[in-house]
Every structure is written in structure tokens, then in C-alpha cells.
């Protein structure tokens, strides 16, 4: 779908099953949703963009603290300011300021500024930037090895596993009781029908239990691979907090040409 002008009150919100290309700006308060990619040639203000594929902003976003970008693949922009950002895969930009960022793979901030300043980001894999924080010591947090989405998925899996385990236990008790009555010959036709239903439900619930355990094991293994995560930066300013695994490091002096990773249970600083 092609939108030749701006997304404003003359166009309204856009919801499309394919990819969307907007040749103008997207104004505050409007929403663009696409199952494919979203490409914007102009500026995005405090709008909401949600794409099943990638989001490509030829200029950038002034989020006005209400803007949202959510992509099932990558997000690419020149700049991102005062917004909430989630990319399931990679994020590429020149700079990000005062934003909440979640990145499911790598985040690369390169170019003239290449900076992440203010706000917080969670990057599952590697973060490569020129600058983190600012000389003003603005509060800036970098978390590596996990994203809020992964944490929420793990918690949801845990809740589902408990519920399914309880259900399976109840079904097995019913089966034991009804089977005992069947063996003693003291069971009604209605109870026999219930026994068949409970056995079928237990079989389905058992398969669900196995799947949840496999999913939890797979996600848990991914989260334990925190040693692969790394922050590489030209400079990191005081006011920055780096979190990797179960460790936290407060930057108290300006660091140059450095990298930070998780080694033997602690955050280690190395050369870039």
C-alpha cells in the first residue's frame, strides 16, 4: 500500500494486511499497522507503528513520550527520540535518546553520533555504539542477555506449567478412582463414560505438559547464554548502569574504547 501524503486527519489510521509505504510524515496520535513492512519517508511524531515485518524510517521519530515502534523483524532509523521501541530482531540507528528499548538480537548505533543517551535498553545479544550516556551524567541503563518480552514469556510459561501440572494431577486422581471402581465391578455406565473422557483429557493435558517443559527448557537455555552478550563502545559516561546476567556495574568515570561482557559470574571490562 502506498500513502502519497501525510498520515493525519485527512487519512486517519492505517491497518493493512501487506506492507505500507508512507511518502509523508506520520503525525501524533495516529496508528499505522501492517502485517508486512512499514516504510516512512518523512518524520514520525508521537504515533504508533506496528509491523509484522520491519520498520524503516528514512528520517526518524520524535516520540513526544507517547510514540511506539513495534516490529516483528528489524527497526532502522536515523534517530529515535522519546519513544518506546521493540524489535524482535535488530535495531539500526544513528542515535537513540530518552527512550525505552527492547531488542531481540543486536543493536547497532553508528554514524556521526552513534549514541544511546538517557532511558533504558534491553539487548539480548550485542550492542555496538560510539557513545553511551552523556557528559551531563544523565541516567542511562543498558541490560544485556534478556529483554522484558523474554522475561514475561518465561513467567507465563511458569504459570502455565503450574496450572497444567495441577490439572494433570486432578485427572490422574479421577482415573485412579474410576479405574478402581471398574476393577471391583462397582461402576455405573455414566462413570464408565466419564472414565473414557478423563483418560482422553489426561492424554491431551500430558502432551501439553511435555510441550511446555520443552519450551521452558529451550527459553531457559537461551537466557543462560548470557556470556555471548556484549556492549562495545567508543565511550561510556558516568551515570550509566550496565546489567548483565545477575550482575550490575555502575560507571563512575568515563571509559574509552571499551567492551563489557559477562565472564565467570561477573561483568568484565575489556578493550574495544
CB-based contacts of 47: which residues, under 8 Å, 6+ apart? Answer: 7, 26, 27, 28, 29, 30, 31, 32, 67, 68
Task: Kindly tell me if the per-residue pLDDT of 55 is higher than 70.
Answer: yes
Q: Are the C-beta atoms of 84 and 68 separated by less than 8 Å?
A: yes
Q: Model's pTM, two decimal places?
A: 0.83
Task: Kindly tell me if the per-residue pLDDT of 4 is higher than 70.
Answer: no
Where in the chain are the domains? 2-147+227-271, 149-225
Instruction: Give 154-193 pLDDT, tens digit per residue.
Output: 889 999 999 999 999 999 999 999 999 999 988 898 999 9
Tell me the pLDDT band of 219, cut-offs 50, 70 and 90. Answer: confident
The secondary structure of residue 188, as a DSSP letter, is -
Instruction: Give 88-104 pLDDT, tens digit per residue.
Output: 999 999 999 999 999 99
Average pLDDT over residues 120-133: 96
Helix axes 189-224, 148-184, angle to 10 degrees: 150
Dihedral, CA of residue 122, residue 127, residue 130 and residue 131, to nearest 10: 20
What pLDDT is stored for residue 224 in this prediction? 77
Amino acid at each position: 500500500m502506498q500513502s502519497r501524503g501525510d498520515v493525519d486527519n485527512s487519512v486517519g489510521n492505517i491497518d493493512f494486511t501487506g506492507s505500507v509505504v508512507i511518502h509523508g510524515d506520520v503525525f501524533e496520535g495516529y496508528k499505522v499497522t501492517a502485517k508486512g513492512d512499514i516504510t516512512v519517508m518523512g518524520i514520525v511524531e508521537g504515533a504508533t507503528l506496528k509491523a509484522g515485518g520491519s520498520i524503516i524510517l528514512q528520517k526518524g521519530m520524535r516520540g513526544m513520550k507517547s510514540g511506539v515502534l513495534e516490529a516483528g523483524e528489524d527497526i532502522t532509523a536515523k534517530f529515535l527520540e522519546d519513544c518506546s521501541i521493540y524489535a524482535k530482531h535488530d535495531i539500526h540507528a544513528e542515535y537513540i535518546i530518552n527512550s525505552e528499548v527492547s531488542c531481540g538480537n543486536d543493536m547497532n548505533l553508528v554514524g556521526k553520533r552513534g549514541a544511546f543517551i538517557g532511558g533504558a535498553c534491553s539487548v539480548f545479544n550485542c550492542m555496538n555504539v560510539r557513545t553511551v550516556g552523556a557528559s551531563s551524567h544523565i541516567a542511562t541503563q543498558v541490560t544485556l542477555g534478556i529483554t522484558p518480552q523474554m522475561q514475561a514469556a518465561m513467567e507465563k510459561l511458569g504459570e502455565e506449567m503450574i496450572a497444567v501440572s495441577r490439572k494433570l494431577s486432578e485427572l490422574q486422581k479421577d482415573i485412579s478412582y474410576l479405574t478402581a471402581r471398574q476393577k471391583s465391578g462397582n461402576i455405573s455406565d455414566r462413570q464408565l463414560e466419564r472414565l473414557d473422557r478423563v483418560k482422553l483429557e489426561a492424554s491431551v493435558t500430558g502432551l501439553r505438559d511435555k510441550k511446555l517443559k520443552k519450551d521452558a527448557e529451550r527459553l531457559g537455555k537461551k537466557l543462560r547464554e548470557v556470556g555471548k552478550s556484549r556492549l562495545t563502545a567508543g565511550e561510556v559516561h558516568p551515570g550509566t548502569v550496565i546489567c548483565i546476567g545477575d550482575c550490575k556495574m555502575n560507571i563512575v568515570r568515563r571509559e574509552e574504547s571499551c567492551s563489557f561482557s559477562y565472564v565467570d559470574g561477573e561483568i568484565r571490562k575489556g578493550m574495544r
